Structure 1
Amino acid sequence: MAEVVENVVTTEEVEKAVNANSSPRPEKPRFEKVKARDGKGLKTQFRKVLVPAHRYTPLKSQWTEIYKPLVENLKLQVRMNLKSRCVEMKVSPHTEDPEAIQKGADFVKAFILGFEIRDSLALLRIDDLFIESFEIHDVKVLHGDHLSRAIGRLAGKDGKTKFTIENATKTRIVLADTKVHILGSYQNTRLARNAICSLILGAPPGKIYNKLKVVASRMNERF
């Protein structure tokens, strides 16, 4: 019978063979900062924001305060189209932030919805802010005096209820007829929306105040 010869390969020999066959790792690529106009063959980005009739006068009176952050901070080209009554924005050769055009559109939309300029400017500085809008009819179908009373509960005497919700949840709220607009982070907006929905459904303001005090204390402990 023929003898069987066993070939034993050591670990060192395996490592040498692997190192001999393997090529050195390539260096990590370094990408330069992408500018707004350095897209892959994309056309110039453009945004239009329609201005309703009831917001045309406030926009006209505060146009300078709206125009400056868009041009000086975001480096956008901005104009007011009087024929179509739209605020038009376009990326310029000096625009560096790829998201500048969207931030500018969100800023103008916030002002058009009724938020003050100093509150709308937060959308340019903070990335995790957004606006949530809904109608009172989405929560509960109300008509006539019942709808008026629901709107009154949301505002409160001299705006006390609305200010309490804003301060407790660190949000900003606009009541525009039957529409409600909330500006804030996702979690804070959800807390404000829950409080507003409870008031629409008929919860007494005192009960909402107590819940908001607990929410405010927890948020202060967390941050």
Structure 2
Amino acid sequence: MVVAHVEQNTSATKNRRSMNKKKARTAANTTQIDGDEEMSSGVIPPLNSNNTAEDNDLMIEIDPTPALEASSAPAFPALPASATQSALKSETRRIPIPPHRMTPIKKDWINIFSPLTEILGLQVRMNVQRRCLEIRTSKATTEIGALQKGADFVKAYALGFDVNDAIALLRMDDLYLDSFEIKDVKTLHGDHLSRAIGRIAGQDGKTKFTIENTSRTRIVLADTKIHIMGSFQNIKIARDAIVSLILGSPPGKVYAGLRTVSSRMKQRAL
């Protein structure tokens, strides 16, 4: 009797286990079917708190258009032509004219007046009582440095340069004026001073013309003063040649030095 009772209990437990497994399978199938029906109907099931942060990150990465629109560069309309013109006050410059240059400036007045008014748009007048030339800006002046260029042009003519050479100061930006005296190099008196001036000029101005053509500058000898117009590097070449002549070097030695300098300048140009 005892053995038969034990066999019935074991069979009952097996039946219970199989029934529990079937119930679990049916419950899983029903939950899956319910979830599919909710997705097909458009109802989203509630999410867990752990999944919300990941979904938010995905949403930011998928739809970045609002951030791009906020960070786009602003577009500004073009300024009118009247806004580009500077409304500065009129400036005036007065350049003194030496007495020995008053007659030449009267003869070349048209050649001096025209570039200042047409190229730079300045207003010009000649003050005969004060012996100076006055220039000032006007509404037609468009360039900021026009007044300084006009003053340099008039000053170059007052120092003794030709009008055509002085106009180059208006058309080119890398031209300068350099002035010095013979006494700045070496104190000479009497015949020594006159011989130094003669060495710089040469016979019929040959030495001066050679220095000008080699260094691409313009030189004016006004008594003991020397004025040079050209670029910075060319002014240095001409000044070194003139200084060596003042110190007593023969013109032949200076010519040889100028030949070497001119050959180097041609090589650099190539």
Equivalent positions of 1:93-132 (< 5 A) are 93-132=139-178
* Residue equivalent to 1:186: 232
* Structure 1 pair 212–31 and aligned structure 2 pair: CA distance change class (3 A): farther
* Residue equivalent to 2:8: none
**1:107/1:120 contact within 8 Å kept:** yes
Aligned to 1:121, the other structure's residue is in SS state helix
* Residue equivalent to 1:195: 241
1: CA distance between counterparts of 2:174 and 2:252? Answer: 31
Q: Percent identity?
A: 57
Q: TM-score, normalised by structure 1?
A: 0.85
State yes or no: 1:38 paired with 2:86: yes
2: CA distance between counterparts of 1:29 and 1:102? Answer: 34
* Cα shift readout 1:18-48 (whole Å, capped 9, x = no counterpart): x78x844556997788999715xx4311111
Instruction: Choose the corresponding residue for 1:151, options 189, 194, 197.
Output: 197
* Structure 1 pair 30–106 and aligned structure 2 pair: CA distance change class (3 A): farther
2: CA distance between counterparts of 1:193 and 1:30? Answer: 50
Aligned to 2:220, the other structure's residue is in SS state strand
Structure possessing the higher relative contact order (Cα contacts under 8 Å, 6 or more residues apart): 1
* Residue equivalent to 1:58: 104
Equivalent positions of 1:66-85 (< 5 A) are 66-85=112-131
The structure in which a higher percent of residues are helix is 2
Larger radius of gyration: 2
**1:175/1:181 contact within 8 Å kept:** yes
Amino acid at match of 2:184: D
**Structure 2: which 5+ runs fail to align?**
1-59
Equivalent positions of 1:7-26 (< 5 A) are 23-25=71-73
**1:37/1:44 contact within 8 Å kept:** no
**1:140/1:201 contact within 8 Å kept:** yes
* Structure 1 pair 167–211 and aligned structure 2 pair: CA distance change class (3 A): same
**Structure 1: which 5+ runs fail to align?**
1-11
Q: TM-score, normalised by structure 2?
A: 0.70
* Residue equivalent to 2:253: 207
* Root-mean-square deviation (Å): 2.7
State yes or no: 1:136 paired with 2:179: no
Amino acid at match of 1:130: Y
Amino acid at match of 1:149: R
Deviation at 1:75, TM superposition (A): 1.1
* Structure 1 pair 188–166 and aligned structure 2 pair: CA distance change class (3 A): same
2: CA distance between counterparts of 1:220 and 1:36? Answer: 43
**1:173/1:182 contact within 8 Å kept:** yes
* Structure 1 pair 159–35 and aligned structure 2 pair: CA distance change class (3 A): farther
Number of aligned residue pairs: give it: 211
2: CA distance between counterparts of 1:158 and 1:36? Answer: 53
